[in-house]
Amino acid sequence: MIDSATRLCCLIGHPVEHSVSPQMHNSAFRSLGLNYAYLAFDVPEDALEIAVKGLKALRAVGFNVTIPHKIRVMRLLDELDESAERAGAVNTVANDRGALKGYNTDVYGIERALRKFRLPSSEQAMIIGAGGAARASIIALLNLGFEKILIANRTLERARSLASWIRSMGFFAEACSLEEGRRRAETCGLIVNATPIGMHPDVDEAPLSRDEISRGSIVLDL
């Protein structure tokens, strides 16, 4: 039951109406006996700064960050965990006595999801997208030892920027357009969709067709 002592947690992003985070977190809070409430707030890009300031003023326990704010939110925080600094993106923010600290738990989640498949590190991996989720995916793949990463994106310049970022860390990476990525998908043992394509309400959309993916390839849709 919500009362005057209830603490606020939330998700900020745009859009958020498809998210099941409120159901998941509120169920967990009830099970743990925590007097917390979790809400989802649709925050357009031009309202991000005022939203973060508002959550800080309201002394929210913390909040999750989703598309399209995972990179932009970083400059609004007081501190970054090593996970967020390395990925260059934030998906979780904790309020530590008035100081907002950003974390990236996507990296751990992606690593854990992929580890059980035991894919050879020599397999080429293709990441579709060039935003915060793509950055977390890159760090996860590097942690797992992948040696060849291909970044495919509708905007080629953004794909090139990410590939350059990977190479600056001493790893091999290529960039291509999404159209070229479709042609090269059959050579990839792992494909990660780090774009909003396929999100509610357009759940039948996909960046690749089944015919473009080789049998036996692993596909991770973030």
Residues classed as catalytic: 70
Please, are residues 161 and 130 in contact by the beta-carbon 8 Å criterion? yes
Give the Cα separation of 40 and 170 in Å (integer): 39
Phi, psi dihedrals of residue 156, rounded to the nearest 5° = -60, -35
- Cβ contacts of 207 within 8 Å, gap of 6 or more: 128, 152, 178, 181, 182, 193, 195, 197, 198
Give the Cα separation of 83 and 92 in Å (integer): 11
Q: How many CB atoms lie within 10 A of CB 95?
A: 20
